[in-house]
C-alpha cells in the first residue's frame, strides 16, 4: 500500500485539474473527447461511466477530432499529476456539476416560457 499524497503533491494535482478544466471550459467540452449537446443526452448521462470518443475513432472528421481533443496536453498533465482514482473522482464531479447546471438552465428556460405565455394570456384578456 502506498503512502497518501503529500500536501505538495495534492496541490500539484489540483493545479493540473484546474488547468485541464479551464481548457475544457474554454472549448465548451465536458471531458476529453466529450461534448454532449442535446438535453436528453445530458440528462441520461451516468456520471460514473467513461465518456468520450477515442482519439483513434475513425468516424470522426479532422475538425471534430481537433475540437474534441484540443486539451490533450493538459489532460495528460492532469493524469500524470493525480492518482487515477482522483482523476476519475474529479471527472465524475465535473459531469455531475455540468448535468445539474444543464437541468437548472432548462428549468429556468421552461419557467420563463410559461411566464411569457401567462403574460400573453392576460394581455388577450385585457383586450377583450
d(CA 1, CA 20): 28
Distance, CA of 7 to chain centre = 27
HEC readout, 7-23: HHHHHHHHHHHHHHHHH
pLDDT (average), residues 19-33:
86
d(CA 15, CA 78): 8
1 or 88, higher pLDDT:
88
- Per DSSP, what are the bridge partners of residue 34? 31
Residues 6+ apart with CB under 8 A from 26: none
Q: What is the pTM of this model?
A: 0.73
Q: What is the pLDDT of residues 40-55, one digit of tens each?
A: 777 777 766 666 666 6
d(CA 82, CA 84): 6
Q: What is the pLDDT of residues 110-124, one digit of tens each?
A: 898 888 877 777 777
Say what the pLDDT of residue 27 is.
87
Judged against a pLDDT cut of 80, whether residue 1 lies above it is answered with no
In whole numbers, what is the pLDDT of the chain averaged over residues? Answer: 83
- Over the Cα atoms of the chain, what is R_g? 20
Name the residue with cell 496536453. 73
Q: Which three cell numbers stand for residue 76?
A: 495528460
Amino acid at each position: 500500500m502506498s503512502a497518501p499524497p503529500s500536501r505538495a503533491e495534492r496541490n500539484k494535482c489540483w493545479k493540473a485539474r484546474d488547468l485541464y478544466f479551464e481548457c475544457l471550459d474554454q472549448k465548451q467540452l465536458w471531458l476529453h473527447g466529450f461534448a454532449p449537446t442535446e438535453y436528453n443526452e445530458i440528462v441520461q448521462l451516468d456520471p460514473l461511466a467513461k465518456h468520450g470518443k477515442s482519439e483513434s475513432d475513425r468516424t470522426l472528421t479532422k475538425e471534430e477530432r481537433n475540437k474534441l481533443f484540443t486539451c490533450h496536453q493538459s489532460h495528460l498533465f492532469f493524469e500524470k499529476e493525480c492518482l487515477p482514482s482522483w482523476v476519475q473522482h474529479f471527472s465524475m464531479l465535473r459531469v455531475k456539476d455540468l448535468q445539474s447546471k444543464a437541468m437548472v438552465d432548462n428549468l429556468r428556460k421552461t419557467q420563463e416560457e410559461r411566464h411569457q405565455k401567462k403574460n400573453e394570456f392576460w394581455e388577450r384578456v385585457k383586450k377583450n
